[in-house]
Amino acid sequence: MTPVAGQTITTPAEGLIAGEVKVPASGVDIPAYRAMPQTGGPFPIILVGHEIFGVHEYIKDICRRFARLGYFAIAPDLFARRGDAAAEPNADRLYLRIVLKTPDSEVISDLDATLAFAKSTGSADAARAAMTGFCWGGRMVWLYCAHNPALRAGVAWYGPLSLGAAPLQPANPPDIVPALKVPILAMYGALDRLIPLGQIEAMKAKLAAAGAESRIVVYNDAGHAFFSDYRPNYMPADGAASWAEATGWLKAHGV
């Protein structure tokens, strides 16, 4: 199912500067959605990693939710070079033609460029930067936090832990644990059929063995995408609890 504009939660843009921007990245300008308070700053930065569906209305709303808490929130379209993921009606075609053809190395480079863009605006404080993400974007939280130790924190919602190695996606989150210097809060549903509980428990054990500060929270009655309020598997209580966990984690780590 490719999402459309309708959603359960709608965060107004009043009092915010919110809208489309262009991020210079590796010779091209990639589209992004940016939201921040109308006055004040510089604001802490939150990079928002989208699902496989791209930067659609739900992801834009996430940016506005963070902006209302005082963040410079920006969601770059990390599939932009391959097409418009938000406009692809067929999920299988989307995955094969866009997602699998997007190299992890390119995504990481584009996230670097997005941070540089945010800093260049004068409205964002690059010394207080974090990343969050959902599903595919949650996976990229793990990988980007291993790449960029300057981040203060990461928050990953149900990021896949084992997609299988591929030439363009050579590493899975468990592979990067030894390199991880950024504390990540990762949240999963125990009933997630895409990310089995055994994988989650194995990741917990690997983090513990490495002495990592990162933490995994499992919601026992939730499945995949339990925070995604536009989808039928949305769990309001677990969604609210995970949002409180996420914002608390960011504040505790100086973001």
Laid out side by side, the sheet with 72-76 consists of 16-25, 28-37, 72-76, 43-49, 124-134, 153-157, 184-189, 215-219
Paired strand residues for 16: 37
Q: For domain 16-252, give the CATH superfamily.
A: Alpha/Beta hydrolase fold, catalytic domain (3.40.50.1820)
Angle between helices 104-120 and 136-147 (to 10 degrees): 70
Q: Has 147 been annotated as catalytic?
A: no
pLDDT digit string (tens) for the chain, length 255 residues: 344 433 468 999 999 999 999 999 988 999 999 999 999 999 999 999 999 999 999 999 999 999 999 999 999 999 999 999 999 989 899 999 999 999 999 999 999 999 999 999 999 999 999 999 999 999 999 999 999 999 999 999 999 999 877 889 999 999 999 999 999 999 999 999 999 999 999 999 999 999 999 999 999 999 999 999 999 999 999 999 999 999 999 999 999
Q: Has 135 been annotated as catalytic?
A: yes
Greatest alpha-carbon pair distance for the chain in Å reads 46
pLDDT confidence of residue 6: 38
- Using CA atoms, how far residue 243 sits from 136, 146, 158, 216, in Å, is 18, 23, 13, 14
Element (H, E) at 111: helix 104-120
pLDDT confidence of residue 4: 42
Q: Kindly name the residue from 61, 224, 238, 253 that is annotated as catalytic.
A: 224
pLDDT confidence of residue 177: 98
Q: Has 192 been annotated as catalytic?
A: yes
Q: Kindly name the residue from 56, 77, 135, 145 that is annotated as catalytic.
A: 135
